[in-house]
Structure 1
Amino acid sequence: MGRKQSFTETELLDVTKRLILDHGYDGFHLQLLSRHLPGARSTIYQYYSNKEEIVAACMKRVITEMLANASEVDETDVMEALQQVLLVYVEESKLHQLLGDAHKINTANSPAAKKDLAFVEEAHKTLKVQLTRLFGRAQQEGLLREDVPLPALIGVFFNLINTPNMLNVPTPQWGKLLFQMWMGGAKKE
């Protein structure tokens, strides 16, 4: 009978995410990962064949959670929906840092990594469609400035995600504050 696994796939992906955010894709390697997980390094291979598969699976998991949370936003009140979507993004503010290294993943010998990265790309498109729809509605309802092009409004909105929380307030409070600041510049007078 084989030795019991020391960690779950979820734990593996949680540690992977943290290490990639701390060390970047280039600084992340399986030896580093194994040092941060209990048990034998060989346990990693029970889940994934190589670094590329682990990192792609981590990216897929993060964007899947984000997509699920964004799709649960009630879009009845468009401005409330935009605030809730911003909170979803702020709660996973490191997503862009994590996904920024997706182009470094060599998928030539890893069909699993290639499939996961294709999913990540499609999820990005889905999130973009939601934002474009909400911003378009807000402009049509006269709630946002019409003299500012939609891509500019969305771009500034997206950049709020990268604003450091130097006040160290809870994420929901931080997201609300960012939204209020954004509205101060985007709200129709």
Structure 2
Amino acid sequence: MGRKQSFTETELLDMTKKLVLEHGYDGFHLKLLSQHLSGARSTIYQYYANKEEIVAACMKRVIANVLEHASAVDESDPLEALEELLLIYVEEAALHQLLGDANKINTSNSPAAARDLEFIEEAHQTLKLQLSRLFERAQQDKSLRQDIPLPVLIGVFFNLFNTPNTMNLPTADWGRLLFQTWIGGAKR
């Protein structure tokens, strides 16, 4: 009778995310992962064949969650939709840091990792199109300043969720404060 599995796939991917964010892709390895999970290292291989597959699956899960929430946003009012999207991105503030290492994943021996990275790229494009659409509509509605080029508005917006929450506010409150600062500016 085999040894009982001590961790779930969700726990495996949660720990992978934590460790990749702490150590980067290059510093992440299966031995490190197994040291942070209760159970045999061989259990990892019941889920994934190698480091590339685990990290790609972790990245896919994160962006799929963002995509799911972003797809549910009501876009009838572009500014309200942008605020809601910002809250989604603030919830997953490490998304860009995590995906920043996607190009390091060698997919030549891992069709599963290649499929996950393809999904990630498609999801990224979908999210980018959604934001562009909302920004364009907000500018057309004159809800956003038209004297500021759209790429600048979008760039600053994207940098909002990388702003450290030094006040330790609840995530939703922090996101709303960031949005209000962005939409109203800091000028009195």
TM over 0.5: yes
One-letter amino acid matched to 2:142: G
Deviation at 1:33, TM superposition (A): 0.3
Aligned residues: 186
- Counterpart residue identity of residue 133, structure 1: R
SS, match of residue 180 in structure 1 = helix
Aligned partners of 1:151, 1:169: CA distance in 2, in Å?
29
In the other structure, the counterpart of 2:5 is: 5
Q: CA deviation at 1:2?
A: 2.2
Aligned to 1:68: 68
Distance 2:143 2:185 in 1: 12
CA drift of 1:148 comes to: 1.1
Match of 2:145 in 1: 145
Structure 1 SS opposite 2:11: helix
- Tell me the equivalent position of 1:49: 49
* Structure 1, 4-13 or 42-51: larger mean CA deviation: 4-13
**In the alignment, is residue 24 of structure 1 matched against residue 17 of structure 2?**
no
- What is the distance in 2 between the residues matched to 1:89 and 1:73? 12
Matched residue, 2:37? 37
Give the match's secondary structure for 1:130: helix
> How far apart are 1:185 and its partner, in Å?
3.2
Task: Give the letter aligned to residue 86 of structure 1.
Answer: L
Please report how far the alpha carbon of residue 3 of structure 1 lies from its aligned counterpart in structure 2 after TM superposition.
2.2
Once superposed, which parts of structure 1, at least 4 consecutive aligned residues long, lie more than 6 Å away? none
AA matched with 1:130: Q
Q: Deviations over 1:130-166 (max 9, x none)?
A: 0011111101111001111111111110010110101
Pairs within 5 Å for 1:30-179: 30-179=30-179
Q: Secondary structure at the match of 2:161?
A: helix
In structure 1, give the amino acid aligned to 2:118.
A
SS in 2 for 1:162: coil
Q: Could you say what secondary structure the match of 1:183 adopts?
A: helix
Give me the whole-angstrom Cα distance separating, in 2, the residues matched to 1:105 and 1:159. 25
Indicate the RMSD between aligned Cα atoms, in angstroms. Answer: 1.1
TM-score w.r.t. the length of structure 2 is 0.97
Query: What TM-score does the superposition give when structure 1 sets the normalisation length?
Result: 0.96
Distance 2:94 2:73 in 1: 20
Q: Offset of 1:113 from its aligned partner?
A: 0.5
1:30-84 residue CA offsets vs partner (Å, 9 max, x unmatched): 0000011111000000000000000000000000000001111111222111100
Structure 2 unaligned regions, length at least 5: none
